[in-house]
Structure 1
Amino acid sequence: MHVHIDTDDYIVNGTKKLKLEKHKTKVKDVYKDKSEYKDLLNEFQDEINDLQRMMYADDRNSMLLIFQAMDAAGKDGTIRAIMSGVNVHGVVVHSFKQPSTNELEHDFLWRTTIRLPQRGQIGIFNRSYYEEVLVVKVHPEIVREKQRLPQEYTENLEELWENRYESIRDFEKHICRNGTKVVKFFLHLSRDEQRERFLDRIDEAEKNWKFSEADVSERGYWNDYQQAYEDAINATATQHAPWFVIPADDKKNMRLIVAQVVLEQLHALDLKYPVVSDERREELEQFRKQLRD
């Protein structure tokens, strides 16, 4: 079973400017019903697992998947749904919350750099260094009150953001040159759908733990966040490290589209199992004989 998803509809790679308000948060479903959704998801999981195993054996590449979104967009569920079928040794997930005291003693890229995937692995960042040009940009007091940067770097905040965009572009170019494919997702949720999901967290007892008062307060900065996301995506979208703006109002649809993107990006790495030399084949035949004796 295969489904046609044109991922070009969602890519932002620097060739043209993103206008976030023009991107839909809901598109036509790529699945017919719940049963087909499950079948398609299982198929994606199997294919991604096969390619990750090949990546591990090939031992030349790694992949970094970055997920950014407004609260309640479904980052956790998407990561869990797509990667649940992949060998646990091949996937490493890191969730980044507020920086710790130790992390604040370093540059803003440090805490994520030390968690990059090794060759053969798919690394997943649930939030990332992009928080430094999203949350911190919406709440610039964080720069002066918590990050304790030299004053000369905080006098002009617009210049600070531009410098951080540049650092991110340079960082992503560096890791791409060293074998890490970077794929970035913005799960594009509407404000109305976010409200409904917050209400669900209040109304459904098993979801109460997900709700935080901060969810409501941050919702008040909705327009500021939308602008911050648009600015960050435009400033850091490149051919080697593209963004994908994924409609997130339908979680099932979103997961299938993300899975298709991941699968395509893995295929683009031209992975292959190592070729066994003639000499090694002779050695293996000798081992076969020994084991049968």
Structure 2
Amino acid sequence: MKNIEVDEFKVVDPIVLEKLPTVLDLGISEKKKSKKLNDYREDLSDHQDTMYAHNKYSILICLQGMDTAGKDSLIREVFKEFNPRGVVVHSFKTPSTNELKHDYLWRHYVALPQRGKYGVFNRTHYENVLVTRVHPEYVLNENIPGINSVEEITPSFWENRYEQINNFEKHISQNGVIVLKFFLHLSKEEQRQRLLRRLDKQKHNWKFSPGDLKERNLWDKYQQFYEEAINRTSKPHAPWYIIPSDNKKTARLLVAKIILDEVTRYKDIKEPELEESIAENISKYREMLQKDI
């Protein structure tokens, strides 16, 4: 298998999405990809158990991508070996009435993972500089002082949002949240094929919406704003990774490997040692239990 180097996918310099590949040949069969993924997710599950006992860090996985990029199936396959209590997934849809009564980051703050756990954001706080850039009229639903029309949403408004998002991620990272952000990079042709499969396979018909085609027509705008958002917000404490995603199994394998490599860099994450008074009396406690029949 091709050696997977994390830095090959991490955004450390400005990127141009159309120049980055959506396909990566790992040099192994689909069957071997599945086996390798299983190895990675078992290691991740074991590490999460240790992190839970350590109780100082949590991990936030942010997933973004165009429609059909494979976010749902990636979550299912990468985290399937986890203790169900160890990972919480949030799929952020259109803000509710209650959520719109707060600032746009509020619902993401309250969904952050507890210490020792993983949180997965399926779509994220970045929707507020992606969907709202393509459809700025959505911002008006937020009832922001001084913003009463689309014309009042100036470039400085978006500059402020990038700054707010960077500050949000810096704040949580300084308080023990390990932030890893993944853009599932899909080609327009592969999206077309996946939308067609939703129509051709009856069991997947429910996934299709005519709105998918409307948003597909805005592909170039989405790519422009994804590129800008990634370049403006990939930081050492909250990096972006661009994942070639035309092949779903390859994307899952890459994400699992990158997460594993990144979280195991934290050498202080280890199971706590027993208190000396308990360790010295383990034999005694064992004997007490053996006699307790």
Q: TM-score, normalised on structure 2?
A: 0.95
1:180-202: CA deviation from partner (whole Å, max 9, x where unpaired): 00000000001111001000000
Q: Which residue of 1 aligns with 2:160?
A: 163
Q: Is the 8 A contact 1:176 1:240 kept in 2?
A: yes
Gaps of 5+ in 1: none
Q: How does 1:112-127 map to 2 (within 5 A)?
A: 112-127=108-123
SS in 2 for 1:60: coil
Are residues 1:110 and 2:106 paired? Answer: yes
Q: 2:145 aligns with which of 138, 150, 160?
A: 150
1:188-247: CA deviation from partner (whole Å, max 9, x where unpaired): 001111001000000111110110111000011101100110111111110010000000
Are residues 1:101 and 2:97 paired? Answer: yes
Distance in 2, matches of 1:173 and 1:85, equals 30
> 230-239 or 154-163: which moved more?
154-163
Q: Which residue of 2 aligns with 1:208?
A: 205
Q: Is the 8 A contact 1:31 1:37 kept in 2?
A: no
Q: Which residue of 2 aligns with 1:287?
A: 285
Q: TM-score, normalised on structure 1?
A: 0.95
SS in 2 for 1:12: coil
Q: Is the 8 A contact 2:182 2:242 kept in 1?
A: yes
Q: Which residue of 2 aligns with 1:8?
A: 7
Q: Is the 8 A contact 2:103 2:142 kept in 1?
A: no
Query: What amino acid does structure 2 have at the position aligned with 1:281?
Result: A
Q: How does 1:258-269 map to 2 (within 5 A)?
A: 258-269=255-266
Q: Is the 8 A contact 1:69 1:75 kept in 2?
A: yes
Q: Which residue of 1 aligns with 2:254?
A: 257
Q: Which residue of 2 aligns with 1:82?
A: 78
Distance in 1, matches of 2:288 and 2:153, equals 72
Query: What amino acid does structure 1 have at the position aligned with 2:250?
Result: N
Q: Which residue of 1 aligns with 2:221?
A: 224
Q: Which residue of 2 aligns with 1:189?
A: 186
Query: What amino acid does structure 2 have at the position aligned with 1:58?
Result: H
Q: How does 1:35-50 map to 2 (within 5 A)?
A: 35-50=31-46
Deviation at 1:160, TM superposition (A): 1.1
Query: What amino acid does structure 2 have at the position aligned with 1:12?
Result: V
Q: Which residue of 2 aligns with 1:176?
A: 173
Query: What amino acid does structure 1 have at the position aligned with 2:185?
Result: H
Seen in structure 2, the aligned counterparts of structure 1 residues 275 and 3 have a Cα distance that, compared at 3 Å, is farther
Distance in 1, matches of 2:190 and 2:101, equals 38
SS in 1 for 2:180: strand
Distance in 2, matches of 1:12 and 1:228, equals 16
Superposition RMSD in Å: 1.4
Gaps of 5+ in 2: none
Are residues 1:92 and 2:91 paired? Answer: no
Q: Is the 8 A contact 1:31 1:253 kept in 2?
A: no
1:141-185: CA deviation from partner (whole Å, max 9, x where unpaired): 1112x1121125972421111111101100101101110000000
SS in 2 for 1:151: coil
Query: What amino acid does structure 1 have at the position aligned with 2:179?
Result: V
Deviation at 1:277, TM superposition (A): 3.2
Distance in 2, matches of 1:50 and 1:3, equals 25
Seen in structure 2, the aligned counterparts of structure 1 residues 31 and 77 have a Cα distance that, compared at 3 Å, is farther
Distance in 1, matches of 2:135 and 2:153, equals 15
Q: Which residue of 2 aligns with 1:274?
A: 272
Query: What amino acid does structure 1 have at the position aligned with 2:157?
Result: L
Query: What amino acid does structure 1 have at the position aligned with 2:100?
Result: L
